[in-house]
A and B are shown apart, each in its own frame.
Chain A
């Protein structure tokens, strides 16, 4: 059974720090992995999509990497801001399915 895990479960950092969120997935047969942001009680906002053939994707202060062989993806946030406070979810799409398998999320608090 495919499973996606994320560590840490929660993270609190002072404003301006660079930080890394981790996502691990079982079974390297993924087509792609997508990172989302979720504000409390709200929907999922897409941040980055990495295809299995890619190793990195960048958008502004965000950089996501993918290592299929080790079953890991990281989301790097540079120069964090209080507005970055949210829960960050990773979701893996596997070759033989059409749906995402979501991780439990990392709850990020950036303190002013």
Chain B
């Protein structure tokens, strides 16, 4: 069964360092998302991406964040200068259509020390 794949599963980084989280969405999907979940809190929306551009972003998604779809399969989230409060589980999701079922990856646990 097709699935969303995220790498790495766990990343530890020093404060101020840049990190890139990688996702391979389901192959025929057109809509891509990043969400995050701080430990013990709700899942929060970060950004949605369609037709090679950001279609919506939350207040969390400030200038330190960027997304890219560098080729036909990968979808990346970059955090330029990590802060302690960026520590969270980051989830990638994809959908075939705007209002169809969303499929999430297993997440990348980011720990900023």
Contacts and interface: CB of A to CB of B under 8 A. Distances in A.
Interface of A: 31-32, 34, 36, 41-46, 49, 51, 89, 91, 93, 97-105
Interface stretch (B12-20, B75-83, B101-109): B101-109
B43 interface: yes
Contacts of B91: 43-44
B60 to A, nearest CB: 11
Contacts of A99: 33, 45, 48, 56, 58
List the 8 closest pairs (A to B, CB-CB), nearest first: A99-B45, A43-B106, A44-B104, A102-B43, A49-B101, A98-B48, A43-B107, A98-B56
B103 A100 contact: no
A103 B41 CA distance: 10
28 contacts: A34-B101, A41-B109, A42-B107, A43-B105, A44-B43, A44-B93, A44-B104, A46-B102, A46-B103, A49-B101, A49-B102, A51-B99, A91-B43, A91-B102, A93-B99, A97-B56, A98-B31, A98-B48, A98-B55, A99-B45, A99-B56, A100-B35, A100-B43, A100-B102, A102-B35, A102-B42, A104-B41, A105-B42
Interface residues of B, number: 28
Nearest to A32: B99
Contacts of A103: 42
Contacts of B44: 102
A46 B43 CA distance: 14
A36 B104 contact: yes
A4 to B, nearest CB: 8
Contacts of A42: 106-107
Nearest to A51: B99
A78 B106 CA distance: 26
A31 B31 CA distance: 16
A104 B80 CA distance: 29
Nearest to B6: A43
B98 interface: yes
Contacts of A32: 99
A34 B93 CA distance: 13
